[in-house]
Structure 1
């Protein structure tokens, strides 16, 4: 018989020997023992349940503590972020605040941010409007200034091709030099904004390096003589006759460097050196050096001189004047072509500016003139040209120049008349001004392209902005010449387009 040990002990303690072994009581003892075992099992189960509950409670408590710690850390980090967003927001935080308070604060910050975004958007729109207004103003100024300059420079060229008295020749040269200096200054001022923004587009054409340097030297000789300076040029014998590059921008760089050297040199020497530096399959690299024996530059001012509107020191500004744009424009134009400029200088011993530029090789079929050939002997005999120009003095000048080259020239005063004339007569080339009454050159070109997609149309415009150049390409024009134009560039451009048509 399996009697619970506790029950056996109680029976032995409280009952007689006879009662312990009484067969009639055996069933009672077994029943009571069964309850003892049940109670013991229930007790163990209860104790186990309490142990499990305590463990789960401790685990749950630890989880809650970790979650609370994480919550506090999150609140602290969110506070740190809000403080980083707004240093003044610290006054809005309180010790012991919960996540809901921080979220409400963030909501207020989001509202503030949205208001700020709207204000920034408005400011951006105002800035863009201002930039557009500035661009339009510069475009108008470019047209208004370059248009009369175009007539001045053009008529000077015409006068120089006609017989004149020796004294008149000197006057013509002086006027030409002065007009070129004025043009360079105008180019610097009007181009500066677009140069800074990197909106300059380089227009590549055939350049005769020797002829270009000769013309640049001639343009600067008069001013050099005024300061009793001497200009010499040293050209590498291995220089190619022609290269492909942007003649206008190269001239702008060299003129600024030479003009700067003349300004800071008195009774001295300016030397221009040009060397062939390297050659590839399709390009040639040329080194340009401009040396002077002028006042020189202090070491601490070498970087300062390339800043806009800045001179090496205030004394130079008062003594020599100048806009302070020249060297800045030189550096910007070179940087836009992936190049740089270096300077070596000592006070009172002069300065040397050096830069390198890559040029394309000029195909043999593009070479129409030899280095020593007189350009004035060239002609456009038999070439039918439609000149579209509304400014009378410019039309007279351009028409005279073209007729001197033996071209056949008709004049249209605006784009509408040009369209009507193109419908009535076949032309070899159209020279199209852009800003005209009744119909502008862009609109006229677009309409002409609808019935004649092949005739060469060359833009002649006093506005050379980036936007204008994009408009010229978009409307279907073939080429672009900025006013005031170099007569030889005009001749070569027409000749090139006529040869392609033929």
Structure 2
């Protein structure tokens, strides 16, 4: 019986053992430091990029909103007024999106920088109601707005982020409603020790939500229903940011199915009731124009579109405007005298608005004592602007009314100081 031969193993040449590269602890530190630096730098880069984006977006949006406000005071027929309302509602929504995206980028690092500004709560509620009505009309929907007479007039809080949160809810209500109606109800929920909780309820007769979808609704970058999201659009960022904003403002947001179909989103925030002196209680448009005519205003604005819009608004308010694009040019022009107020944008070529304000104040009286209003798309710039010497600060998009009030107040204070 023949023995079966074992198969020969092919002899492969042995590879020389790989030499281990000796790396000292010091040699490994640069790579480790680079990795750590990249991780820590990335959020800052993203935040800076989004802040720049917000500034660039808000500049034209400020113009769109300002021109819309001016058109709304013109002699328009009903159809033209609906067009203006639609344009304004869209611009307001884009402005709110810019705020939400910047806040979302900062949320993981520094949280939401909620401000405590004096504002007219009733005016904000009516403005949001107008936005809802404008969007509903553009889509062929019915709308209903109910604002309680018990709502306090003046409060302190964060009107920019509150408006952004409400615009997001209104956008969702109209987006997911193909027929029927959308509604806004605003009422005080509770009050204690000068604090008032205000509830904003946005309801619709749209597609509605299941309990499973409600659980997913407030997760970042998550849609309640993927198929519906593909149909109606949306990044899923808004409601997550709205919930964080609500909690940062001492409240929350809840959602419930609406009887008869649709959903009701109720946003609650804590605000501080503000006491207003009789002389400052809600100046009307006639009061503003009567007491703030004829100012010479120097606007430091490098964006050509922003210049055109500001010139139109200031002229409509009865002021005379001159424009320069650089902080250095502003210093030279101010020393020639004759200006009652200066509008200083924060983002400029050359020296920025903060440094320009600082150098203006260093001129001393009379040139360095002019009233200065800082203007920026970032609310975080206010503290630095005021520290440099600004008398007031406006966050873009700036309405003609807000600009008129700011000019009236700063020039009144400047006159009283002289």
Q: TM-score, normalised by structure 1?
A: 0.69
CA distance in structure 2 between the aligned counterparts of 1:347 and 1:121, rounded to whole angstroms: 58
Instruction: Please say if residues 221 and 235 of structure 2, whose CA atoms lie closer than 8 Å, have aligned partners that are also in contact.
Output: yes
Greater length-normalized contact order (CA 8 Å, ≥ 6 residues apart): 2
More helix by share: 1
Residue from 474, 480, 484 that aligns with 2:397: 484
Task: Kindly indicate whether residue 330 of structure 2 is the aligned counterpart of residue 418 of structure 1.
Answer: yes
Instruction: Please say if residues 429 and 498 of structure 1, whose CA atoms lie closer than 8 Å, have aligned partners that are also in contact.
Output: yes
Residue 135 of structure 2 corresponds to which residue in structure 1? Answer: 223
Residue 168 of structure 2 corresponds to which residue in structure 1? Answer: 256
Residue 279 of structure 1 corresponds to which residue in structure 2? Answer: 191
Residue from 351, 362, 385 that aligns with 1:472: 385
Residue 493 of structure 1 corresponds to which residue in structure 2? Answer: 406
Residue from 223, 234, 240 that aligns with 2:146: 234
Q: Structure 1 residues 215 and 386 mapped into 2: Cα distance closer, same or farther (>3 Å)?
A: same
Task: Kindly indicate whether residue 157 of structure 2 is the aligned counterpart of residue 245 of structure 1.
Answer: yes
Task: Kindly indicate whether residue 288 of structure 2 is the aligned counterpart of residue 378 of structure 1.
Answer: yes
**Which consecutive unaligned segments of at least 5 residues does structure 1 have?**
1-110
Q: How much has 1:260 moved relative to structure 2? A: 1.4
CA distance in structure 2 between the aligned counterparts of 1:381 and 1:224, rounded to whole angstroms: 37
Residue 207 of structure 2 corresponds to which residue in structure 1? Answer: 295
CA distance in structure 2 between the aligned counterparts of 1:166 and 1:302, rounded to whole angstroms: 39
CA distance in structure 2 between the aligned counterparts of 1:174 and 1:277, rounded to whole angstroms: 31
1:73-126: CA deviation from partner (whole Å, max 9, x where unpaired): xxxxxxxxxxxxxxxxxxxxxxxxxxxxxxxxxxxxxx87x8887655432211
Q: How much has 1:252 moved relative to structure 2? A: 0.9
Q: How much has 1:312 moved relative to structure 2? A: 0.8
Instruction: Please say if residues 283 and 359 of structure 1, whose CA atoms lie closer than 8 Å, have aligned partners that are also in contact.
Output: yes
Instruction: Please say if residues 384 and 407 of structure 1, whose CA atoms lie closer than 8 Å, have aligned partners that are also in contact.
Output: yes
Task: Kindly indicate whether residue 70 of structure 2 is the aligned counterpart of residue 155 of structure 1.
Answer: no
Instruction: Please say if residues 265 and 295 of structure 1, whose CA atoms lie closer than 8 Å, have aligned partners that are also in contact.
Output: yes
Instruction: Please say if residues 96 and 163 of structure 2, whose CA atoms lie closer than 8 Å, have aligned partners that are also in contact.
Output: no
Q: How much has 1:225 moved relative to structure 2? A: 3.1
CA distance in structure 2 between the aligned counterparts of 1:256 and 1:189, rounded to whole angstroms: 12
Aligned runs of 1:448-463 on 2, under 5 Å? Answer: 448-452=360-364, 455-462=370-377
Instruction: Please say if residues 298 and 346 of structure 1, whose CA atoms lie closer than 8 Å, have aligned partners that are also in contact.
Output: no
SS of residue matched to 2:305: helix
Aligned runs of 1:275-424 on 2, under 5 Å? Answer: 275-345=187-257, 349-365=261-277, 368=280, 370=282, 375=285, 378-379=288-289, 380-424=292-336
Instruction: Please say if residues 304 and 312 of structure 1, whose CA atoms lie closer than 8 Å, have aligned partners that are also in contact.
Output: yes
Q: Structure 1 residues 376 and 320 mapped into 2: Cα distance closer, same or farther (>3 Å)?
A: farther
Task: Kindly indicate whether residue 121 of structure 2 is the aligned counterpart of residue 209 of structure 1.
Answer: yes
CA distance in structure 2 between the aligned counterparts of 1:159 and 1:227, rounded to whole angstroms: 21
CA distance in structure 2 between the aligned counterparts of 1:352 and 1:450, rounded to whole angstroms: 55
CA-based RMSD of the aligned residues comes to 3.0
Q: How much has 1:460 moved relative to structure 2? A: 1.5
Q: Structure 1 residues 326 and 478 mapped into 2: Cα distance closer, same or farther (>3 Å)?
A: same
SS of residue matched to 1:424: coil
Instruction: Please say if residues 296 and 347 of structure 1, whose CA atoms lie closer than 8 Å, have aligned partners that are also in contact.
Output: no
Q: How much has 1:145 moved relative to structure 2? A: 2.2
Residue from 168, 173, 180 that aligns with 2:85: 173
CA distance in structure 1 between the aligned counterparts of 2:164 and 2:135, rounded to whole angstroms: 17
Q: How much has 1:328 moved relative to structure 2? A: 0.9
SS of residue matched to 1:353: strand
Instruction: Please say if residues 261 and 292 of structure 1, whose CA atoms lie closer than 8 Å, have aligned partners that are also in contact.
Output: yes
Q: How much has 1:447 moved relative to structure 2? A: 0.8
Q: How much has 1:423 moved relative to structure 2? A: 2.6
Q: How much has 1:275 moved relative to structure 2? A: 1.8
1:135-166: CA deviation from partner (whole Å, max 9, x where unpaired): 23223322322222222332333333344566
Q: How much has 1:411 moved relative to structure 2? A: 2.6
Instruction: Please say if residues 295 and 320 of structure 2, whose CA atoms lie closer than 8 Å, have aligned partners that are also in contact.
Output: yes
CA distance in structure 2 between the aligned counterparts of 1:352 and 1:165, rounded to whole angstroms: 34
Q: Structure 1 residues 156 and 276 mapped into 2: Cα distance closer, same or farther (>3 Å)?
A: closer
> In terms of mean alpha carbon deviation, does 469-478 or 215-224 score higher?
469-478
The alignment of Structure 1 onto Structure 2 pairs a total of residues equal to: 387
CA distance in structure 2 between the aligned counterparts of 1:289 and 1:313, rounded to whole angstroms: 22
**Which consecutive unaligned segments of at least 5 residues does structure 2 have?**
1-23
CA distance in structure 2 between the aligned counterparts of 1:449 and 1:199, rounded to whole angstroms: 33
Q: Structure 1 residues 362 and 440 mapped into 2: Cα distance closer, same or farther (>3 Å)?
A: same
Instruction: Please say if residues 387 and 399 of structure 1, whose CA atoms lie closer than 8 Å, have aligned partners that are also in contact.
Output: no
CA distance in structure 1 between the aligned counterparts of 2:287 and 2:65, rounded to whole angstroms: 20
Q: How much has 1:199 moved relative to structure 2? A: 4.3
1:243-293: CA deviation from partner (whole Å, max 9, x where unpaired): 222211111111111221222223233232222233344332222222233
